[in-house]
Amino acid sequence: MDEEQLAVARDTAIWHADRFRYELYISDIFADRRLPHATGTDPILYAECLGGALYQADFVTLAKCAGFADPGVVSTSPISIQNDEISTKVGAARFMSVTYRLFKLEGLDEQCEDYGQSAVYRGGLEGAEAFFWLDDHHAFERGRPERVCVNTAAMLSSTRFAQWFEMLGSRTTHFGAYPSGPTMAASERAGEAARCSLAGCC
């Protein structure tokens, strides 16, 4: 992706951030590297939705520049290329279909920070009455407290999800960096995140 394409993508991300103030879903095909300009203009690759695929790390940077400080991956599916001609054109590049849930909230930290907070899912979200996936490593079982970083706490308490969650603790004492990883419920149900309920995703 060249500088002109990056500028267009950046402007589009900022437009979406201004129009959809707090939560945004994006599902697209991403590459594991920055692709040559010729790849983006190749008609065969373009028709296969591979040409012009954005480098995933560049997307995360663009999302953060647009005000979505902590992009969360909901699901990831690798794309297998079976066609020899297409495989030759893309070379060693790998592609994946990724769905992101983005929140635009004031005061989110650049990384996960620990303020000793926990979240308890009250249940009740349609289609996720007993078990709710926020993203691919944050799952919550009804009535079960889960330790969360300050960013996740904000996503659950300052958005449409607030009525379904009880937050324990406050942003008073900082205990250092939060050891990022899956919640207990997510660890127990590894592999189910891709089946995130539509009620929680829309």
The answer to whether the beta carbons of residues 169 and 119 sit under 8 Å apart is: no
Helix 3-19, helix 56-65: angle, nearest 10: 50
At residue 121's C-alpha, the angle toward residues 119 and 125, to 5°, is: 140
Is residue 173 over pLDDT 80?
A: yes
Pick from 16-20, 101-105, 152-156, 175-179: least confident: 16-20
DSSP code at position 35: P
The answer to whether the beta carbons of residues 49 and 86 sit under 8 Å apart is: no
Please measure the distance between the N-terminal and C-terminal CA atoms of the chain and give it in whole angstroms: 30
Query: What would the two tokens of residue 131 be?
Result: 């078990």
CA dist., res. 121 & res. 163, Å (int): 9
| All domains of the chain in start order, with CATH | 3-103 (3.40.50.150), 117-201 (3.40.5.100)
Q: What is the largest CA-CA distance in the chain?
A: 58
**Burial degree of 197 (CB within 10 A; 0-12, 13-18, 19+):** middle
How do residues 133-160 score in pLDDT, each as one tens digit? 999 999 999 999 999 999 999 999 999 9
Is residue 18 over pLDDT 90?
A: no
| Region 17-22 average pLDDT | 54
Beta bridge partners of 119: 146, 167
Beta bridge partners of 129: none
β 72-79/95-103 pair status? antiparallel
